Structure 1
Amino acid sequence: MSAINLKEKLSLFNDQWTPKIIGELNGQHVKLAKLQGEFVWHDHINEDELFYVIKGQLIIELRDNTITLNEGDLYIVPRGVEHKPIAHEEVHIMLFEPAVIKHTGDVQHEITKEKLDWI
């Protein structure tokens, strides 16, 4: 295995809300994604989800709170907590989440991805 350059990996795709897997450790996938606009309300009943902002600002709406993440910030959405990510301008993020996690939880939406690509 060689070093992974995040800027290089981010340059390989432009699609929004479609995480790309860049690594795996201890049953967790490390993913990169580009986001812009609003995602759907969803939760992950059995899995926590870590968002780390590489570039831009990400807002994570919770039913009772709003979390604002700037470059270099991270937030862990606890399992079972409904959330809705929002990016007013393009945001680049890294995600750490279990390999078995569903993209939009149990919510089926036009942006739901059943299988994610490795880059």
Structure 2
Amino acid sequence: MTPEPVSLAHALASFSDHWSPRIVTAVNDYDVRIAKVEGEHVWHVHDHTDEFFLVLDGELRIGLREPAGERTVVLPAGSVLTVPRGTEHRPYAPVPTAILMFEPTGTLTVGDRHDEVPDHVDATTGHALDRAPEPDDTLGS
């Protein structure tokens, strides 16, 4: 990773796939990923890591299966949630939504255990972000 700023708006505009995260940068052994999402993901579990979500735009709902039962957490834009390791969960976006996630490098988007992966979900450890030069929006250039 180069120590250059990354515009999240420009990065999100560089791809159109849903449920197919792009790696924006890395922090120690963690990827910072962005994704466009809409519709349902898949029920899955990360056995060895928590999963951090920040909703940049839209609304994300996360179904959680916990010892006390199943519940859904609603995250409007600007909200964060950390799903604890070992918790079965399923993200769902009722409208086109943009999210940012922190996950250890190499973590699969469908976790360690999951239901059957539908065609619209990319089972990946993240894709490299297209690093095309960003437009120079400085004044006077």
**What number of residue pairs does the alignment pair up?**
119
- Counterparts of 1:50-69 in structure 2, within 5 Å, are 50-63=52-65, 64-69=70-75
Match of 1:114 in 2: 124
Rounded Cα–Cα distance in structure 2 between residues aligned with 1:66 and 1:89: 16
Sort the Cα spacing of 1:45 and 1:115 in 2 relative to 1 into closer, same or farther, 3 A. Answer: closer
Runs of 4+ in 1 over 6 A off after TM superposition: none
Say if 2:50 and 2:82, in contact at 8 Å, map to a contact too. yes
2:4 aligned residue (2, 5, 8): 2
Tell me the CA shift for residue 30 of structure 1. Answer: 0.1
Rounded Cα–Cα distance in structure 2 between residues aligned with 1:104 and 1:115: 9
Rounded Cα–Cα distance in structure 1 between residues aligned with 2:106 and 2:127: 14
Tell me the CA shift for residue 98 of structure 1. Answer: 0.7
Tell me the CA shift for residue 100 of structure 1. Answer: 2.6
- Counterparts of 1:1-119 in structure 2, within 5 Å, are 1-63=3-65, 64-105=70-111, 106-107=113-114, 109=117, 110=119, 111-119=121-129
SS of the residue aligned with 1:10?
A: helix
- Scaled by the length of structure 1, the TM-score of the pair is 0.94
Rounded Cα–Cα distance in structure 1 between residues aligned with 2:123 and 2:43: 15
Say if 2:108 and 2:125, in contact at 8 Å, map to a contact too. no
Q: Which runs of 5+ in 2 are unaligned?
A: 130-141
Rounded Cα–Cα distance in structure 1 between residues aligned with 2:31 and 2:91: 19
Tell me the CA shift for residue 117 of structure 1. Answer: 1.3
SS of the residue aligned with 1:36?
A: strand
- Tell which deviates more after alignment, 79-88 or 59-68: 59-68
Rounded Cα–Cα distance in structure 2 between residues aligned with 1:117 and 1:90: 20
Sort the Cα spacing of 1:43 and 1:96 in 2 relative to 1 into closer, same or farther, 3 A. Answer: same
Q: Which runs of 5+ in 1 are unaligned?
A: none
